[in-house]
Chains A and B, each alone.
Chain A
Amino acid sequence: MARIELTVDGAKVSDDVEPRMLLVQYLREKLGKTGTVIGCDTSNCGACTVHLDGRSVKSCNVLAVQANGREVTTIEGLADGDQLHPVQEAFRECHGLQCGFCTPGMIMQAVDLLGENPSPTEAEVREGMEGNLCRCTGYHNIVKSVLHAAGGAK
């Protein structure tokens, strides 16, 4: 067991974890942050995407112990109280989700993408979201949502 202390969605937390525990398991099983989900076992789907010190990571690709002393933001910490993040708003406005399973990861990746490149082209959005799989939307409205959020931010 290893002792870790970190900040998750603005709250300080500390736990003893098994060295092999993944960050996504820590978030879901220890903290009950079930908004972040697991869609695969090969780091392909991106459903588990969160921010680590402000940059997007696949939380199934990071050990909980690697998050020690750092800051994690999940989909549950993205909105400012009742005020949705503009990317969350954009996904609703543009019907960027159907079953919603890929959505937390999509939104977290989109926020990161727009942080890097505030006014991307469609091709840049498609490239930048490539690591996140969705089976419902055919990506059409996800791409539209990200472009919509970018437009709104200008």
Chain B
Amino acid sequence: MTAVADKPDLEIGRDRRRKEDQRLITGRTRWTDNLVLPGMLHLAMVRSPFAHAKIVSIDTEAAKQSPNVVGVFTGADLGEAQGACINAWAITPDQVTPPHVPMPSDRVAFAGETVAVVVARTAAEARDAAELVDVEYDELPAALDLKESAADTVLAHPDLGTNKSALWVFDSAEAGTGSSADAAIEKARGDGIVIEREYRQQRLIPAFMEPRSTVVDPTGEQITVWSATQIPHILRFAIAATTGVPESKIRVIAPDVGGGFGGKLQQTPEEMITFAVARKLGKPVKYTETRSESLMTAHHGRDQWQKLTLSAEKDGTVTGLKVELTADLGAYIAIVGGGVPVLGAFMFNAIYKFPAYHFSCQTVLTNKTWTDAYRGAGRPEATYAIERLMDELAIEVGVDPLEIREKNWIKHEEFPFTTVAGLEYDSGNYEAATAKAKEAFGYDELRAEQKQRRESGDRIQLGIGISTFTEMCGLAPSRVLGSLNYGAGGWEHASVRMLATGKVEVITGASAHGQGHETAFSQIVADRLGVAFEDVEVLHGDTQIAHKGLDTYGSRSLVVGGEALVKAADKVIEKAKPIAAHLLEASVDDIEFSAGRFSVRGTDQGLAMAEIAMATFAAHNLPDGIEPSIDSDATYDPVNFNYPHGTHLCAMEVDTETGGVLMRKYVCVDDIGNIINPMIVEGQVHGGLAQGIAQALWEEAVYDDSGTLVSGSFVDYLLPTSADTISFEVDHTTTASTTNTLGTKGVGEAGTIASTPAVVNAVVDAVRQFGVNDIQMPCTPERVWRAIHSGDGGDETEGAAAPHFTEETGMQGQTDRTDGANQ
């Protein structure tokens, strides 16, 4: 029973192999699309081919006659039972928000919007019948280009009278956190340096590998919804709030979820339509999207123009920063919607000591797919802008870009530091991370090689890119969210159930989709309660089990959810102490708990946690007035954000004759506080890096002039492959966060946030001698070539220009390299 005594080292900090892997590597999985229920019916959506059109008529007769079709419904048929898709964050009190009916009956506002749904006995029959639905449209002019839409040339929603949704402004002079940015810029125009740039954050698609799927079973007392979602709790709330079905009658389950990256942080029209159809028919129904539907209709990310002005003294000391964003919301305001760029508002000043800061963001409605959170959400945009600008400043001053950063960053002895955006950074050591990264990278040697290649006019030029980033994570202190007018809090809930046999069930309101929570949370609880790692079971993602929670996004699971877990475990210990004292015939004051054992101070008497659990279960001999349970729960509201940081260094080779780029080396040293599981952390960094690098080099969602998404399949939307990427060098420095007990900081988004500017800085650095100071992302060979030859890096991406299209594969996108491919 008391294996605890010979328990070896602490679990926290160990590279434990993941508990979740056994199932996943043997194919024993529970993806939503795997579920089959008796009598289950299948849905297929009929989608608008037009970006903006009036629906004149919908003829469903032929589809209804198709084999095994059970019903065909339009928006008018489902009516109010569809509920609505909500925006949880009106960023200003006067935000213009178009109503969002899951399936409209009068007008479509983007290509891909659902206008009818077919229900049949099989998915194939539903799809066949969907082809037979005849919709007559009256096409309307579409608002497509972001800048033109901001000028209200064509209206995305004519009834609203404008495309301008909200203007969100922060000014350090008004907020009292600094002086006036305008004044600083004015002064610098006289006697300092002013850098003015406009950068483009292209539209991206999260492109999680598991297409979204929803199954709704209305046959029980509670209506059960399985969905491939990051947010089961928020989804339940939204369904209840907009359909009138009581929250207590809805159970939402997120089973195995195949990636999200923000892309599954949504209450989708498809979920609402599936819910409505299941209720109408009283039968279980399933909807699984195709990849093309996913790329076309699941929310996109980024899509901003950034106008930036940085002022500095002649010696490179920064004096002011002014940021004016225009952000594309798409056709509807998604659940976080315009809040995404606002999450970046506090991060443009980054690690630097700006005395003056002005930020504004104009959100704009267009007739394109809606946008919302994508890995990093607001912070990659901010980091990109500032890290690109710092390189430009270094050029103006004529010093190494690392030197200009060091001159302006917060020194490690200056923490805690209150920034010009009003945040208090608790800890960090930029010097240490940078020193370590430089050494691992071979910075000086690579600079020497770069010089030599430049001087000899080598066809292959070398560029070095730097990104010394920070981010805010751990969303979020509820009162901060309240002050920003966000619709919910930022707490998290956990409970610990002590089973009679000494096993432990841990329930968390966070909802994992690949992050390894089951493993990391087991490690935390094993240490805290002194039980074996294997004896802890982590349960999540089902509102009936984890009845309370705010789910997983914004790098919050560990720093907020983990802290709730620590608090719940501590309560277990406190509840167990009087029972231990009673059984050991000692006073509670003399009971000590360590390494899973309650002992009497100064004696060798003691009882293990498992023994207390058993005694509590039996309840034969408990002290008077004590309830027979040591189970506990806790809800934790963070007091502050936390601020991981790091130094990322990237070396890119550019072929000046073809414009082709090749990554040669990528080193990053991140400070993410104390680490629970280094193996999982490294994995998070790798995945984040690849996504950030992909923004710099490959990915872009492109629309044609009529508003059709041309990158609507994996042939055209260029996810990197193993052949496009390299192995990364990932290391750490550690300054513990002081805003939570475990001293951890978020890590889920760090790699994505930091890497994009590092890569683009490197590409620009390689060709700067040709008069280039910017290349628009993605930096395709075509754009790089044009920049070299005309000093201009702008314009459209050509799919076929991207690097993993080669002559050899007929310019056809990723190669099918399975052996049997050509049989």
Assess whether A39 is in contact with B211, with CB atoms less than 8 Å apart: yes
Measured between beta carbons, the chain A residues less than 8 angstroms from B457 are none
Query: Residue-by-residue, is A113-154 near B (CB-CB < 8 Å gives 1, otherwise 0)?
Result: 000100000100111111111111111111110000000000
Q: Report A-chain residues with C-beta under 8 Å of the C-beta of B686.
A: 137-141
Interface: A65 (CB within 8 A): no
Tell me how far the C-beta of A96 lies from the nearest C-beta in chain B, rounded to whole angstroms: 9
Interface residues of B in 682-736 (CB under 8 A from A): 682-684, 686-691, 713-715, 719-723, 725, 727-728
- The answer to whether A56 and B28 touch across the interface, beta carbons within 8 angstroms, is no
Q: Are B27 and A141 in contact (CB under 8 A)?
A: no
Question: Closest residue to A125 on the B side, CB-wise?
Answer: B722
Among B257, B292, B804, contact of A99 (Cβ-Cβ < 8 Å): B257
Any chain B CB within 8 A of the CB of A79?
A: yes
- For residue A95, CB closer than 8 A to chain B, the reply is yes
Bound state CA distance, A44 and B209, in angstroms?
11
B26, B261, B719: the one within 8 Å of A79 (CB) = B26
Alpha-carbon separation in the docked complex, A101 to B211 (Å): 10
User: CB of A97 within 8 A of chain B?
Assistant: yes
Q: Answer yes or no: A112 CB below 8 A from chain B CBs.
A: yes
Residue B620 lies at the interface, judged by CB distance under 8 Å to chain A: no
Are A122 and B821 touching (Cβ within 8 A)?
Answer: no
Q: Which residue of A lies closest to B27 (CB)?
A: A35
A130 in contact with B817 (CB, 8 Å): yes
B817 touches A131 (CB 8 A): yes
Contact at A55–B817, with CB atoms within 8 Å?
A: no
In the complex, chain B residues 1-53 whose Cβ is within 8 Å of any chain A Cβ: 17-18, 20-29, 31, 33-34, 36
Contacting residues, chain B, for A47 (C-beta < 8 A): 209
**Residue A8, interface by CB 8 Å:** no
Contact A56 B819 (CB under 8 A): yes
Distance from A79 Cβ to chain B, minimum over Cβ atoms (Å): 6
Q: Which residue of A lies closest to B28 (CB)?
A: A35
Report B-chain residues with C-beta under 8 Å of the C-beta of A95: 17-18, 679-680, 682-683
Chain B residues in 8 Å Cβ range of A56: 818-820
Across the interface, do A99 and B258 meet the contact criterion of CB distance under 8 Å? yes
A140 touches B31 (CB 8 A): no
* Inter-chain contacts of B23 with A (CB < 8 A): 100
Instruction: For the complex, give the distance between the alpha carbons of A61 and B817 in Å.
Output: 12
Indicate if the CB atoms of B818 and A112 lie closer than 8 Å: yes
Query: Taking A56-B818, A135-B209 as contacts, is the C-beta distance between A41 and B682 under 8 angstroms?
Result: no
Q: Is B242 an interface residue (CB 8 A)?
A: no
Q: In the complex, which residue of chain B has the Cβ closest to the Cβ of A122?
A: B727
Choice from B34, B725, B751, B815 contacting A34 with Cβ under 8 Å: B34
Residue of A40, A93, A122 ringed by the most chain B CB atoms within 10 A:
A40
Which chain B positions have C-beta within 8 A of A137?
A: 683, 686-687, 690
Contact of B687 with A92 in the complex, beta carbons under 8 Å? no
A39:B210 contact, CB within 8 angstroms: yes
- Report the nearest A residue to B712, measured CB to CB: A42
Q: Point out the residue from A34, A38, A55, A79 that lies within 8 Å of B820, measured CB to CB.
A: A55
Cβ contact within 8 Å between A133 and B31 = no
Q: Give Cα A132 to B714, complex, Å.
A: 12
Residues of A near B816 (CB, < 8 A) are: 43, 46, 58, 61, 131
Q: Mark B660-682, 1 if CB is under 8 A from A, else 0.
A: 00000000000000000001101
With A44-B714, A44-B814, A133-B719 already in contact, the answer to whether A92 and B819 are too (CB < 8 A) is no
Q: Cβ of B813 and Cβ of A34 under 8 Å apart?
A: no
CB within 8 Å of A: which B464-481 residues:
none
Q: Are A57 and B820 in contact (CB under 8 A)?
A: yes
Interface-central residue, A18, A62, A126, A140, by most chain B CB under 10 Å: A140
How far apart are the CA atoms of A37 and B23 in the complex, in Å?
Answer: 14
Q: Which segment of B89-97, B492-500, B513-521, B766-774 sits at the interface?
A: B513-521
Interface check A107, CB cutoff 8 A: yes
Q: How far is the CB of A76 from chain B (nearest CB, A)?
A: 4
Q: Is A138's CB under 8 angstroms from B514's CB? A: no
Asked, given contacts A41-B290, A92-B17, whether A84 binds B26 with beta carbons under 8 Å apart, the answer is: yes
Residues of A within 8 A of B727 (CB): 122, 140, 143-144
Nearest Cβ on chain A to B580's Cβ, whole angstroms: 38
- Nearest-Cβ distance from residue A98 to partner chain B, whole angstroms: 4
Contact of A130 among B257, B259, B679, B814 (CB under 8 A): B814
Say yes or no: is B208 at the interface (Cβ < 8 Å to chain A).
yes
Interface positions, chain A 54-109, Cβ under 8 Å from B, are 55-58, 61-62, 74-76, 78-79, 84, 88, 91-93, 95, 97-104, 107, 109
CB distance from A42 to the nearest CB of B (A): 5
Contact partner, A45, options B18, B514, B714, B804, Cβ 8 Å: B714
Q: How far is the CA of A143 from the CA of B726 in the complex (A)?
A: 10
Interface assignment of A4: CB less than 8 Å from any CB of chain B: no
Q: How far is the CB of A120 from chain B (nearest CB, A)?
A: 12
Chain B residue at smallest Cβ distance from A116: B819
The 8 tightest CB contacts between A and B, nearest first, are A35-B27, A99-B514, A101-B258, A138-B690, A100-B24, A44-B714, A57-B820, A75-B27
Q: Can you list 27 A-B pairs with a CB-CB distance of less than 8 A?
A: A34-B27, A35-B28, A36-B27, A37-B29, A38-B211, A39-B210, A41-B290, A42-B714, A44-B813, A76-B28, A91-B25, A92-B17, A95-B17, A95-B680, A100-B20, A100-B258, A116-B819, A127-B723, A127-B817, A128-B817, A129-B721, A135-B209, A136-B683, A139-B725, A140-B690, A140-B728, A143-B727
